[in-house]
A and B are shown apart, each in its own frame.
Chain A
Amino acid sequence: MSILVIAEHDNSQLSPGTLNTVAAAAKIGAELRVLVAGSGCGDVAAACAKIAGVSEVLCADFDTYAHEITENTAHLVKANLDGVSHVLAPASTFGKALIPYLAALCDAQPISDISDVVSEDTFVRPIYAGNALQTVKMSDAVKMMTVRTTAFEAADAEGGSGTVTAIDDAGASDVVTFKGQNLSQSERPELTSARIVVSGGRGMQNGENFAMLEKLADTLGGAVGASRAAVDAGFVPNDYQVGQTGKVVAPDLYIAVGISGAIQHLAGMKDSKTIVAINNDEEAPIFQVADYGWNEDLFTAVPALQAELDG
């Protein structure tokens, strides 16, 4: 039996989360296969074949998969389940849309966001915004799940020597048409895999003030995130949102600036290695999870921190 990991990529680069997903798959055991669906995605397939522990890469390189249309990818995966015991994808918007759709096509009940592997049929996952951890045993013949990528160390991107097998086009949906994308452009590291994240909340007051956090992030080589309040107020785009219903991050260093620490926000960052909180309200709940709290006006603290780092 083999474990199938669905690669996430943009046709030229593999998402870092795919490496963590491979690591989760390796923890289950058995032989590892990776499926790459894309268009002009040969480099991605080659990169997957090099991941330590991967024995085979199934590559569907067709126009059908130029964009991540859930329907198309799900039908492709369904057609490639021979000898497969588990299907895993990262718990990104890509994987979270795909896995349940695929599971329903296969009459299976998937689980979302696994944070640990107990055995080949038993997994741990956070519920209630991470306020509880559930251990679940699955009974379907093919077990399907998304993986909380921050909970698993990335697999080695080098060292593997898998084969790449071309697979057939499973056909495109005639009821869904791709119209376009409006993607955030950034030179900074990707939020969910960045080693350092600087996040701002409602306390930032406006979008212009985020320039302070961007500068700080650039000095530290980090990414910029935000609370939902900051996103809702239009300070920054939606893809900055960290939390229960946004992105989950667990960097080495998370700096929360002007964020109160609502449970829904903590859900997305409380597994960070070191947390710094800058807030002028000493009662702010964020201080309860912060390793280093700084009770100060952010408009004083952030420039002072920047100056200190600039030396």
Chain B
Amino acid sequence: MKVLVPVKRVIDANIRVRVKSDNTGVETANVKMAMNPFCEIAVEEALRIKEAGNAEEVIVMSAGPDKAAETIRTGLAMGADRGVHVNTEESLEPLVIAQLIKAVAEKEGADLVILGKQSIDDDNNQTGQMLAALMGRPLGSYISKIEKNDGGFAITREIDAGLEDLQIASPAVVTADLRLNEPRYASLPNIMKAKKKPIDALSPADLGVEVKNRLEVLKVEDPPAREAGVMVSGASELVDKLKNEAKVI
């Protein structure tokens, strides 16, 4: 079995983002970047499947500019076997990304594609679902568990009301939720080894995909700020304020 893991380069989760003064986006110059946390979980799961003897190869791919290769390298340092970089300077919407991933998945003959459930920059939560629809393959969204079996995969999904179990056929597309696993750190020897692992570079055109965006971002603004509140020093003061000032109880 081959596992494909699409990963995205995003602003590090610990950075507080700032909206640009011209309201065209957020400040990205000189900001620390990292692999999207949900993608790390996806890579980790692929590696565990391989380590359990259920996969021969783990391929990490990313679509984006030159720097996206660094994020692929992070996946290789965690233990993935090789990388595919769809190199483009254009901004990409989830539908186009899903088209690119589909092309790579078909080219590589992937039996399982594991994506993150959500990128923490655009907070789209779309690409995996779109990929499954484009490929006409089963979708396991928001999974917290996956097991290979004869029929394909037994998965557990995290849904708003609790947990749900599905059986899905192979090949399949799944998206990783937070509790799927705890991703490993890349060790120094593995970081060194990763430098020698191959990364194929392709363009969207090589994959037969036209980058056609449908959305136009008109502006990006700061959310309304909350006014500073007050400190209370005891239960009676708090209850009094909730009853008589905020009028919420």
Contacts and interface: CB of A to CB of B under 8 A. Distances in A.
B139 A97 contact: yes
B144 A293 contact: no
B150 interface: no
Contact of B179 (A140, A183, A238): A238
B120 interface: yes
B137 A132 contact: no
A98 B178 CA distance: 20
A179 B95 CA distance: 30
Given A108-B214, A179-B165, A308-B235, A132 B16 contact: no
Contacts of A288: 226, 228
A231 B158 CA distance: 13
A291 B215 contact: no
B113 to A, nearest CB: 14
B178 A245 contact: yes
A232 B215 CA distance: 36
A131 B228 CA distance: 17
Given A100-B126, A274-B248, A122 B231 contact: no
Interface stretch (B59-67, B127-135, B202-210): B127-135
Contacts of A129: 120, 123
B132 A134 contact: no
A88 to B, nearest CB: 15
A74 B134 CA distance: 12
B123 A101 contact: no
B220 interface: yes
A110 interface: yes
B239 A176 contact: no
Interface of A is mostly: mixed
Contacts of A196: 248-249
A100 B130 contact: yes
A131 B125 contact: no
Contacts of B122: 127
Contacts of A295: 231
A137 B217 CA distance: 6
Given A71-B139, A131-B16, A113 B123 contact: yes
A68 B162 CA distance: 13
A253 interface: yes
A105 interface: yes
B19 A103 contact: no
Interface stretch (B44-52, B68-76, B166-174): B166-174
Contacts of B214: 108-109, 138-140
Given A133-B222, A307-B235, A70 B229 contact: no
A67 B167 CA distance: 13
Contact of A252 (B125, B221, B248): B248
A144 to B, nearest CB: 10
Contact of A97 (B38, B93, B142, B236): B142
Pick the most buried of B93, B172, B179, B213: most chain A CB atoms within 10 A of its CB: B179
Nearest to A69: B166
Contacts of A112: 123-126
Given A74-B133, A292-B242, A111 B222 contact: no
Contacts of B168: 175-177
A308 B216 contact: no
A275 interface: yes
Nearest to A266: B226
Contact of B215 (A71, A109, A127): A109
A253 B120 contact: no
Contact of A304 (B131, B226, B234): B234
Given A104-B129, A291-B230, A126 B123 contact: yes
Contacts of A179: 154, 165-167
A135 B218 contact: yes
B223 A130 contact: yes
A181 to B, nearest CB: 5
B123 A97 contact: no
B22 interface: no
B82 interface: no
B134 to A, nearest CB: 5
Given A101-B139, A109-B214, 14 more contacts: A10-B161, A70-B129, A103-B130, A112-B126, A127-B122, A128-B11, A136-B215, A175-B152, A177-B167, A177-B168, A179-B166, A182-B164, A239-B160, A294-B233
20 contacts: A96-B129, A103-B133, A104-B134, A109-B93, A109-B94, A109-B213, A109-B214, A129-B120, A132-B222, A133-B223, A135-B220, A137-B215, A139-B215, A181-B159, A192-B160, A238-B162, A245-B177, A274-B246, A275-B229, A292-B246
Interface of B: 11, 13, 16-17, 19, 26, 38, 93-95, 98, 117-118, 120-127, 129-134, 137-139, 141-142, 144, 152, 154, 157-169, 172, 177-179, 213-223, 226, 228-236, 238-239, 241-242, 246, 248-249
* Top-10 shortest CB links A-B: A104-B133, A104-B130, A100-B126, A179-B165, A100-B129, A291-B229, A183-B162, A175-B169, A308-B235, A109-B214
